Amino acid sequence: MLRLVLALAVSLAASGARAVEDPYPWIAAAYVVKRDGKLLWAGQPDARLPPASLAKLMTALLALERGGLDETVTVGKGVLRATGTRIGLKPGEKLRAGDLLAATVVRSANDACRALADHIDPQFVSRMNQRAAALGMTGTRFMDPCGHDREGQYASAADLARLAEHVMPHAEYMRLAKLDKVAFKSLDGRAFNLRNTNALIGRYEGAIGMKTGYTDGAGNCLVALAVRDGVVVLAVLLNAPNRWWNAVGLLDRAFAAPR
């Protein structure tokens, strides 16, 4: 299944077709549903909205493209500014970059995300926006590597779908995204046992991930990916009050839609 997703992702990322139908306007402030790279339905796909932790998709992409996941990261004081979901990192602790990525993807931990971003580049947000521009994400501007609400930060559902399709070829991200839980230790031996924030994992047939998000400004957000019988469905929901129920409905309808 994973090989299928990785192989298909290249063609998915190249797809730029626009939806012609918005049959579910009540589902979210903005949404996009794609099957095998083709846009099935969308509502306000170009609306510029807060992305919450879906911004971590770009942080993860930059970390994966850079490599060095076996590098040792010394946690900096930036983690003290992280709010929301955290794993309790302390300045001075040492961890593998790959384990920080795991905490970022699986648990959506803001302190792990911050430590990883600061390790890669003190000007990490500039890198995020440069990569977004290179990907043609014209409706997106990042102001925080982990998705905290920041003035001037926004993304569109269409852009986030494109970003997800560029993350999908990275086997390590896909491996992490579908884990129900992950465990690792700091270099000093402190153990971390983390459960996935994605309620679809282990509950929805074929679910792989990819990213959850929530802030007061963004509401409930989700990038959901599932594969069944060789069919790949990707759904992006921004500010979706009932994201899990609605995501399941969208995925089911996408798998059942005529081809």
Q: Please check whether residue 240 is in contact with residue 220, taking contact to mean a CB–CB distance below 8 angstroms.
A: yes
| pLDDT tens-digit readout, 145-193 | 999 999 999 999 999 999 999 999 999 999 999 999 999 999 999 999 9
Nearest to 89 by CA among 74, 102, 101: 74
What SS3 class is residue 77? helix
Question: Which residues, in sequence order, are CB contacts of 151 under 8 Å at separation 6+?
Answer: 143
Name beta bridge partners: 43.
31
* Dist CA 237 CA 126 (whole Å): 25
**What pLDDT score was predicted for residue 15?**
43
* pLDDT given at position 13: 46
CATH label, 2-256, candidates 3.40.50.300, 3.40.710.10, 3.30.70.1290, 1.25.40.80 = 3.40.710.10
**Which residues are catalytically annotated?**
53, 56, 108
Q: Where are the beta strands (DSSP E) in 36-152?
A: 38-43, 72-74, 94-96
How is residue 135 written in tokens?
A: 């990907």
CA distance 250 to 112: 31
Q: Place 23 in a pLDDT band, splitting at 50, 70 and 90.
A: confident
Region of residue 37 (left: phi > 0; alpha: psi -120 to 50; beta: else) = left
Global model pTM greater than 0.95? no
Residue 16 has pLDDT above 50, yes or no: no
Over range 218-222, report the average pLDDT. 98
Distance CA(193)–CA(232), nearest Å, equals 30
* Encoded tokens for 65: 């493209």
Over the chain, what is the mean pLDDT? 93
Q: Are 105 and 86 within 8 A, CB to CB? A: no
